Amino acid sequence: MYDRVLRPLLFSLPAEKAHNLTMAQLKALQGHALGRALLRNWAGPISPQPVQAMGLTFAHPVGLAAGLDKNAEAVRGFFALGFSHVEVGTLTPRPQPGNPLPRLFRLPSDQAIINRMGFNNHGAESAAARLAERDPAWGIVGGNVGKNKDTPNDRAEEDYIRAMQALAGKVDYYTVNISSPNTPGLRDLQHEAALKTLLDSVASENKRTQPIPLAVKMAPDLTKDEVQNMARIAATCGFQGIIATNTTIDRGGLRTSAEAVTAMGAGGLSGRPLAQRSTRVIEWVREAVGDHLAVIGVGGVFTAQDVLDKRNAGADLVQVYTGFVYQGPGMVGQLQTAWKND
């Protein structure tokens, strides 16, 4: 149904309009038992396959990456579609509109997306209010946090801490997002001195209340030395996980014409072209820190083989975003089955 009917309909619309329509439908369906049953039926069978990672128990290894449900509006709907965990955000302490439209583009020939959303969100407090309604039995919820665009990097830790404080008691783990290419200067926080200062501050704040697992999301455009140094710093600062990876600024090897890609402009590229790059980062992280950190693999997860590649590289869990856009909800059960049966 998705391939024959829904995807052609959604792909006939501008990408962000299609996203908003999808979110509206999920919000409507998640609100009553019949709607949730429809979503579960659409997703297909999901069998129990508990995974221990970051001190948490996930029902199975396949989750939803941050970016699809920025404001925690359809968490129950995504769980009904079979995801074991849903990462909401990126959430900033203050609401912000993000970058000007258009800012989301499909590359169907590459099964990819370019986005320059710019952390558009309603603010961490708004998401926390929605998450107050959730039942922990639905599944694991992660809170992906970032800084506001107008906050200078030397005060970034204040934004991350404020966002965490707003989400305290409402999420099961925090992800510190310092790797989006769409907030000017954000990736500079991955540099050693700034990174250690930020992660130390975040970890201290986390310990001050009831601590929950901490993960940091890294860019795919780093060198091996940079990746491994970042992973070691995260481990030293008391983090429990690495999310590998965010979107890439590289445009090499695309089937989409150079003219079309140039017309789309700046932004992070996700989807199939990211698969090998993100898998390589997983290998580098695992080589650097062994089993001291959990690794969540993100980037180009579409097929059973993609899942196995991530797992064999060292991932404990995987998350999907662009694959879900192109393949629809049936992929969750297929990916979970591949991991289980291999």
Active-site positions read 180
275-289 vs 304-313: helix axis angle to the nearest 10?
20
The residue among 297, 326, 334 whose CA lies nearest residue 314 is 297
3-state DSSP call for residue 59? coil
Question: Kind of pairing, strands 317-320 and 294-298?
Answer: parallel
104 close to 113: Cβ distance less than 8 angstroms: yes
Q: Do the beta carbons of residue 58 and residue 50 sit within 8 Å?
A: yes
Note whether 293 and 241 are within 8 A (CB): yes
Tokens standing for 286? 């695992």
Read off the DSSP letter of residue 336: H
CB of 186 closer than 8 Å to CB of 146: yes
First-to-last C-alpha distance (Å) of the chain: 28
How far apart are alpha carbons 241 and 78 in whole angstroms?
23
- For CA atoms 162, 164, 166, 168, the dihedral sign is negative
Residue 134 makes CB contacts below 8 A (sequence gap 6+) with 75, 76, 141, 170
